[in-house]
Each structure stands twice: as C-alpha cells, then as structure tokens.
A and B are shown apart, each in its own frame.
Chain A
Amino acid sequence: MTDDLDRLLLALRPRQAELVAEVFPPARRREILAGAMREQPIPAAPAPTRRGPRPRRRIALLLAPVLAAALAAVVLAGALTGSGAQQAAGAVVFHRTASGEVVAIVRDPFVAQRQLDLAFADRGYRIHVELMPVPPGLVGRVIYADQQSGGRIEPLLRGLCASGGGGDCRTVGVVISRSYKGAGTIALGRPARAGESYASAASAFATGERLHCSGLLGAPAGQAQARLRAQGIAVEWREDVQAGTSSSSTSPRSAPSGSYVWEGVMTAPGRVVLFVQPRPWPGDPAHGSLNDRGCR
C-alpha cells in the first residue's frame, strides 16, 4: 500500500519544470537574483561594531560604480574650476571644491597606516582610511565603510590621478561631504604587492582583471591548468558535487578531468580559484553577465 501511495502521489506531482520555465524565463530569473544580491552588497563580514553610544551607519558602495563615477566627475569638475586650494599634507593631498566638498587623494597607495591617520587628523577629520590589496579592477573602490550619520565619505574611484598623469591610472581617494562631522572608517582597494593576497576580489574574467578575454572561460579544466601554469599562475580548484538533493563543493588538488571552467576569482596576483562543473559552459550571458564582456 505504501508503495502505491507514493506512486500515486508522484503521479499527482504538478508538471514543475514546464511551469517554472513558463513563469520564470531567464530574464526574470536574473532579475530575481540581482534583486536578492542588491541588498547588503558587502555582506561577507558582519557589520563592524565600534565603541560609542551614537548609532553608526554602515555604507556599502561596492556595487554602485555608476553613482560613484558620476560623483567623482562632479567633484573633479569642482576641483578644477572652483576655489580649491591644493594643500599637500604628507601622504594625502586635499582639495576643497567650489561646492565645499573635500577631495582627499592618497599619493602613495603603500603608505604606512599611521601616516594616513595622521594626515586626516591634521585636517581635523576623525577618518580612518585603510588601504587593502585588491585586483586591478577594484583599485580605488570601497571594500567596506563604517561611519556616523551627519555627512558622508565616498570613494573617489578614478578620474583624477595623483601623479597628474591622468589617463588610465586609478586614484585612491575619498570625497568628504561638506557637512561631515563624525568619525568613520573607509577601506579602499589599492594595488597588491607581489606575494600579497587580495583582501577582496572580483571575477577573474571581469573587465580589467587578469583572465579577462583569456579564452579560459568555458575551457576544459586540464587545458586551463596548462595555460595558467605557463603564465606562472597557481590554480585552486572548486568543483560542484551533486548527490541526490544535496550539493556541495569539493577542492580537488588538480584539474578535474571532464570538467569545464565556469568562473574564477583571483585571490592574489599569481593565484586563482577556478570553479568548474562537469558540463560545458553554456555561453549564456545569464551565467556571469560581466565575464569576458566585450571579448567576442
């Protein structure tokens, strides 16, 4: 009787696959995923807690490059045309724009932390700017931030080069709003030294990153290993394992045979984590829409 009951129940199961495909086409799926991950864009770590009774505001701007770039452009225009008197303060150069915002540019991304803190303290700011090694695409971007209400500090991103060279150089700096009075911490990405691990990471196949347009996205794992080895890049493998309804990730020591590269993350200048699956890369923009953009 039990077997019959189970068979009958299974026979009554709605046609899930067809219904799901109909109600949630690829565009809708991507929309739901983007919406879910839009919340707390830098959530890997718990929100930093700091001493003091006043409520603190944690900002997370890693995924707001358009807004930040627009802000940087506005600030740059103000710096160049306004009354901004440039003052060198050791490790940091400060500009005041016509609108009253202060642009602080770190001249040396490898400067000692104490010098940075002193530079901001000299200007009367209780701002702790921390520089963290990141892959090229994240240089100048915010890794995390924690600040009090009452004004804001924002990343400068790029658009203004401390060396005056302009062009493609990426400036590490912040924009401090006119009304900013509180204390805060902001961690920005800086280039990594040889041998340093990245404190944050983007897809290795994203624009500006090491494997962008490398042709390795979707390549057989063995082929990818050989090519990366030739480039002096060490590979750490992650492979999905599906067993019934359970799935987990394993870390094979070498390239899993019969698997293909689906994603990658540079964890240091010469080290990458490659995610592989035992089925070919679908080449579908839904699977990593920013990966290898503009390569084909």
Chain B
Amino acid sequence: MRPAAEDRSFDAVARIAFERLYERHFDRVAGYVLARTDRDDAGEALARTFEIAWRRRAEMPVDSLPWLLGVARRVLADSRRAERRRGALIERIEAHSRPLVETHEDAIGDRQAFLQALSELTPDQLEALLLTTWEGLSGKQAAAVLGCSRGAVAVRLHRARRRLRDVLEEPAAPAGQLPRMRSAKETT
C-alpha cells in the first residue's frame, strides 16, 4: 500500500550520491556527447541524459559510466537529427583532434588517409572502436553502452581493425575528400 520505511529512508542520501556521481562522470559524458553533436544541442542531450539517470537510478549498476554513456547514446539516437550528427562525426574528429605526430604518420599514413579509413567503418564499428580507445572502456563496458553482447563488440572491433588496415593499405583519396560513412545496414 505504501513504500517500506527503509525505501523512503534515504532520499537525501540518494540525492547526495547522485550529485557525487554527477561530479565524477559529467566530464566524461559531456565529452562523449560533444564529440557527437554540436554544442548547442549538447546541453539539451546532457540534461535529458541526467534526467533519465536520476529517474532510473535504481537500475544503475555500480559501474555507472558505461550505463550513463549508453543513456546518452540513446538520447542522441532519439534525436531527429541523429542521422546528420552521425555523418558529421568524422568531420568533428577532424576539427577538434590534435595534430598527428610525425611518427604516427610514418607508421600508418597521413591524417587524411586515416580519417578516410575511419569513415569507411559502419557506425557500430566506429562506436565500438572509439569507446574502447577514446573512452578506455573494456569490451564488457562497451557492450553495456551499445546494448549488445561482448561477443558482438569483439566482432565489431575485429572487423573495424581489419577494415582500417585494408583501407590504409589502399592509395589515399584526394586531399579534402572524405568518403561517405557506411550505413549500419551495409555491414555489421
């Protein structure tokens, strides 16, 4: 008929715990969102993400960052402009990333070629790759973000790396031209 006393007892503790979680993970979640949308929409997406997190915090696992990133990912995907955003990810990387150091260029090719290689990946492959490299997540954590199995993440990573190697071994595209991104339907 009414909530048990122990369930009601620590609403303040829950608030404080959430504020601390917010402080801990805000930068990571904000960085994730800003890498995938423009700054005007990032605030809205973040607000929605943490609103959902607060409402559903009972479902939040101890390892909360992947869960939060997963919420942010779904919030971005729900946006009507998600398709445009996804297509702009490579351009965003290009705009905001650091210049490549010379040794990397020597080893793998120039920056343009690598960006071109990234754009050849499917969205799922690219996301798995960036979650495990940029965000430093394990395969299990990346699976939690993507809402798939660890095996699926492993397959996507394997295919992504193989495709990157294949593309990088091909002659580079003319400077300034980035191939279109593949859709999720083309390859998994």
Residues of A within 8 A of B (CB): 1-2, 4-17, 19-20, 23-24, 28-29, 32-33, 35-37, 39-40, 42-46, 48-51, 62, 130, 132, 143-144, 146, 185, 187, 197-203, 240, 242, 244-249, 262-263, 265, 267, 273, 275, 287-288
Contact = CB atoms under 8 A, between A and B. Distances in A.
B159 to A, nearest CB: 13
B98 A15 contact: yes
B34 A201 contact: no
B62 A246 contact: yes
21 contacts: A1-B161, A4-B108, A8-B100, A11-B98, A11-B101, A23-B34, A29-B26, A35-B51, A43-B11, A44-B8, A45-B7, A48-B3, A51-B1, A62-B11, A132-B8, A143-B8, A203-B12, A245-B63, A245-B141, A265-B16, A273-B13
Contact of B22 (A28, A33, A50, A197): A33
Given A11-B101, A19-B96, A39 B54 contact: yes
Interface in B1-51: 1-5, 7-28, 30-31, 34-35, 39, 42-43, 46-47, 50-51
Nearest to B44: A32
Contact of A12 (B3, B55, B63, B97): B97
A48 B7 CA distance: 11
Contact of B1 (A1, A10, A40, A50): A50
Given A14-B96, A15-B96, A246-B62, A199 B12 contact: no
A39 B51 contact: yes
B146 interface: no
Interface of B: 1-5, 7-28, 30-31, 34-35, 39, 42-43, 46-47, 50-51, 53-55, 62-66, 92-93, 95-98, 100-101, 104, 107-108, 111, 114-115, 118, 129-130, 133-137, 141, 161, 164-165
Contacts of B39: 19, 23
B1 A265 contact: no
A2 B160 CA distance: 11
Contacts of A265: 10, 12-13, 16
Contacts of A35: 47, 51
B141 A48 contact: no
B35 A44 contact: no
Contacts of B2: 48, 130, 144, 146, 185, 187
Contact of A200 (B9, B50, B100, B101): B9
Given A5-B164, A15-B98, A39-B55, A20 B19 contact: no
Contact of A36 (B16, B28, B50, B66): B50
A216 B20 CA distance: 18
Nearest to A7: B104
A157 to B, nearest CB: 18
Contacts of A245: 28, 63, 65-66, 135-137, 141
Contacts of A200: 8-9, 11-12
A265 B164 CA distance: 52
Contacts of A29: 26
Contacts of A5: 108, 161, 164-165
A210 to B, nearest CB: 13
Contacts of A50: 1
Contacts of B98: 11-13, 15
A203 B16 contact: yes
Contacts of A32: 43, 46-47, 50
B107 A4 contact: yes
A248 B93 contact: no
Contacts of A40: 54-55
Given A12-B114, A24-B30, A45 B130 contact: no
A29 B100 CA distance: 32
Given A12-B100, A15-B96, A275 B16 contact: yes
Contacts of A46: 3, 7
A30 B150 CA distance: 35
